[in-house]
């Protein structure tokens, strides 16, 4: 906590490593949240070489954020125009984001998803290097 009792936060992106899918193939991957801080996801960004369907949820609670697979263009934006996830969701430290991917382009597809938001640290001592301390 800083002197006013507020949690320390800083901008952070959790990026799914580029995932290669064969045409019309499906895959389930997971993103592990670091142990040093909770993560509040605010924006959704994706980049791919083809179209795909996606569904993701909180691996810790098993709750998904959609009732079914959603086309990437309906749920993810770009860095210029990211999709705001409202209200932002806090993934607990050492939790995970479970992601189901299904290619719909019919051709090999390389997908990268970025969950953009901020890390929420409980105390300055667990913050990143270079942080201003009192």
Partner 1 sequence: MSQQSIELERWYARQRRDRTLGQAFLAEDAPVQSVPHDPRIEAIIEMYWPPRLLRGRVYMPDFDVIPDRPLRFFAYPFNFTLAARQTFQQTITIAHRFYWYGLTGVSLDNLVYRLRINDGRTRQQFQSSAIISPSMVGTGQRPFYMRRPHCIPSQRPINVQAENSAAATNHVQVVLLGAIYDG
CA distance 56 to 65: 6
Minimal distance in Å, beta carbon 90 to partner 1?
A: 10
Give, rounded to a whole angstrom, the gap between the first and last alpha carbons of the chain. 11
CA distance 38 to 25: 32
CA distance 120 to 17: 23
CA distance 116 to 56: 14
One residue of 4, 35, 62, 129 binding partner 1 per CB under 8 A:
4
One residue of 49, 60, 83, 100 binding partner 1 per CB under 8 A:
83
Residue that is written with structure tokens 């899918």 in the block: 21
One residue of 71, 94, 107, 108 binding partner 1 per CB under 8 A:
71
Number of residues that bind partner 1 (CB under 8 A): 45
Minimal distance in Å, beta carbon 125 to partner 1?
A: 13
Instruction: Give yes or no for a contact between 24 and 104, defined as CB atoms under 8 angstroms apart.
Output: yes
Minimal distance in Å, beta carbon 134 to partner 1?
A: 8
CA distance 20 to 28: 12
- Identity of the residue, 25 or 79, whose beta carbon is nearer to partner 1 in the bound complex: 79
Is 40 among the residues that bind partner 1 (CB under 8 A)?
A: yes
Is 35 among the residues that bind partner 1 (CB under 8 A)?
A: no
Instruction: Report the interface residues with partner 1, using CB under 8 A.
Output: 2-4, 6, 8-11, 40, 42-44, 46, 51, 63, 65-89, 104, 118, 124, 131-132
């Amino acid at each position: 906590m800083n002197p006013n009792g507020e949690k320390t936060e800083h901008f952070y992106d959790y990026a799914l490593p580029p995932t290669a899918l064969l045409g019309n193939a499906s895959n389930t991957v997971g993103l592990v949240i670091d142990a040093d801080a909770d993560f509040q996801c605010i924006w959704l960004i994706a980049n791919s070489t083809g179209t795909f369907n996606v569904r993701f949820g909180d691996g810790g609670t098993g709750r998904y954020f959609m009732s079914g697979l959603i086309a990437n263009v309906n749920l993810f934006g770009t860095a210029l125009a990211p999709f705001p996830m409202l209200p932002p969701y806090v993934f607990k430290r050492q939790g995970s984001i479970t992601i189901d991917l299904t290619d719909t382009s019919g051709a090999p597809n390389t997908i990268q998803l970025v969950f953009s938001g901020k890390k929420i640290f409980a105390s300055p001592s667990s913050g990143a290097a270079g942080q201003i301390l009192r």
